Structure 1
Amino acid sequence: MKSSPQSIEELLARADSMAGLTFAQLAKLNDQIVPKNLRRDKGWVGQLIEHELGANAGSKSEPDFNHLDVELKTIPINSYGKPLETTFVTVAPLINISGLTFFDSVLFHKLKQVLWVPIEGERDIPVAERRIGCPFLWQPDASQLAQLKQDWEEIMELIALGQVTKVTARHGEILQLRPKAANSAALTESIAEDGSIQLTNPRGFYLKTQFTTRLLANAFGN
């Protein structure tokens, strides 16, 4: 693992130096082998970029560059610069949530400051030939933060009421709650409607593509 950047300026300089490189070029710089496809190696690109930039959080529930309070998010885009998928933020807590507030949540701490790295994601481009786009640093403005808070609170209230199975991807303007597991057999504890503990699939918070589309447009003036 490369050393962690000691400032946001150093982090941005490293990120800018990746722009325009193919995955093959970046993998060579890091002594890695490019997989033929990403179906079995879905997290490979993110891990490669984390390695190159010196992310230090690993799998912990904290920002990737915790000493800088910066989260790293890669975002696959098409040839028109539009995101191809929703963006996973963090696993949603389903038990022991009494008294938890938005500003204490993992989600808030991960979205306070995000380094977005667009990457070519269209499947007709061989993985090795896909390129890394221009990174940009984002902090939610007051209205974005207010909407994130509202979405989080509405979804968490349903979880607290034991209605997690009734939450659909349509809930929330910016955020959505979706199953987050390797397969449907994975189970975790959640609150049931009678207040007891039940088993359900793990859930994750995701940013909707309508929102990340606007972030990209604002960043690049489209």
Structure 2
Amino acid sequence: MNNLFSIFDPSTNLLNLSLNWLSTLIGLMFIPYSFWFFPNRLFFFWNFIIIKLHKEFKNLLGNSNLNNGSTFIFISLFSFIFFNNFLGLFPYIFTSTSHLNISLSLSLSLWLSFMIYGWLNNTQHMFIHLIPQGTPSILMPFMVLIETISNIIRPGTLAVRLTANMIAGHLLLTLLSSSSNNLPNYLLIILIFIQILLLTLESAVAIIQAYVITVLSTLYSSEVN
């Protein structure tokens, strides 16, 4: 089991510096396309995605956040997670989002900022949110406890969801590829076809997980206003 999970360890280093984590910056290589004087197809495609995300996040955040640029924070979060998830599918590129170091840092920093802002500026609303409407008086202490626990574990659930989904697909691909050494040719062709299907599924998972994490963060932000 240690050898199986060692593929996720950042073991490549030079002068005791872990170079695998530099893969988190590879997505920045795609940004200069937006500064071209004559935009290309990649710029139009990415700009189309950003506009769609902006409209959807604006609806999720509500009317109180229409003009303060809050959607661009979540668009940047989506872009960062999407690039790291998708580029991690290429050979010899380290998937940083498969580690809790990255995913928990993102989710915990967002959650803390939401909580600090909500409790300092909308204290009464935050207290009201702990007790759902229509709760019987005898159940109010229990509901406060349940809502508090569910609120505290939110950054952990966001981080574990992203990390687990990234690890699961990579592990499955690794297990299948490691079992191909002694297979006959006709089974090897079937295995390659299955791995292509799994790689397609992982590409969809990379996009979906970036979208899910961003939407949940947007919903958590809308609750503190």
User: So what's the TM-score if we normalise by structure 2?
Assistant: 0.31
User: So what's the TM-score if we normalise by structure 1?
Assistant: 0.32
Higher helix share: 2
